[in-house]
Structure 1
Amino acid sequence: MGKFLTIVLVVCAALAGGGMYYLQVYAYYDRLPPQDTIALTAPGGIARAASVADFEGIDSDSSPIRYRACFTLDSVAGAALYEGATPLIAPRWFGCFDAEQLSDDLEAGAAQAVLSQSNFRYGFDRVVAHYPDGRAYAWHQINRCGEALFDGNPIPFGCPVPPPS
Structure 2
Amino acid sequence: MPQIIVNYRRHDTEGLQPSMMLLWAAAGVPLGVYNIVEEQNIALRIQPQILSFLSLVTWAQCFYYGRKRSIIACIAAVVPLLGLLGGIEVALIFALRAAKDRDLEWPLILMAVLSACLLAAGVLRHYYDIYVHRTVRGISFIFVGIDAAGDLFSLVSCLDEGSIY
The TM-score normalised by the length of structure 2 is 0.28
Tell me which structure has the larger Cα radius of gyration.
Answer: 1
Report the TM-score, using the length of structure 1 for normalisation: 0.28
Greater strand fraction, Structure 1 or Structure 2: 1
Q: Which has the higher contact order (CA 8 A, sep 6+)?
A: 2
Task: Report the structure, 1 or 2, having the larger helix content.
Answer: 2
